[in-house]
Amino acid sequence: MKSSLDHSLPLPNGIPAADARSLHGTAQGLKRAAEQGTPQALLRGKHVAVFSEDPQSGPALAFDKAASALGARVSHLLPRHELLHADGADIAVLARLYDAIGWEGLSPEAARRLQEKAGIPVFNGSLLHGMAPPCSEDDLAYLAQAMLVNSIG
């Protein structure tokens, strides 16, 4: 049976067509490698932060699994909303410590502002939320991995 990754994949709104094709291609490659028993450690040496009240919640856990499966180290932190308004030293520390941030419950606007300040990718935890079938949970995980690989890999 063919995977939904082999078909026209519904992607989050707002992704330009070229980025969607790249994301889809990366997800297909990651899935193919895993199915062949050769998972890729493309994020080995990278460090990802997950800001969440509950590290076992759906988005936080999915982000953690996606990053860990590719060899990244993952740190779980409680959200500190004052970081969203910080400049200077606090933001510089985030950028030095982490290659990417996943922040559950962060608005897209706040994620964009933090990304601009820190100079590293910031995922708000809802980018893949609400995508309907034909995407399976596994396919969503490969898309999450592809987003990480395409942004920091």
| 126-153 pLDDT tens trace | 655 555 445 677 887 888 899 899 999 7
Burial 104-139 (b: 16+ CB within 10 A, else e): bbbeeebbeebbebbebbbbbbebbeeeeeebeeeb
Section 93-120 average pLDDT? 92
Return the pLDDT at 81. Answer: 86
Indicate the range of 2-6, 30-34, 86-90 predicted with least confidence: 2-6
pLDDT, tens only, 19-53: 878 888 998 999 999 999 988 899 999 999 999 99
Q: One-letter amino acid identity for 106?
A: L
Q: What is the pTM of this model?
A: 0.82
Tell me the CATH number for domain 16-152.
3.40.50.1370
Where do the structural domains in the chain lie, given as residue ranges?
16-152
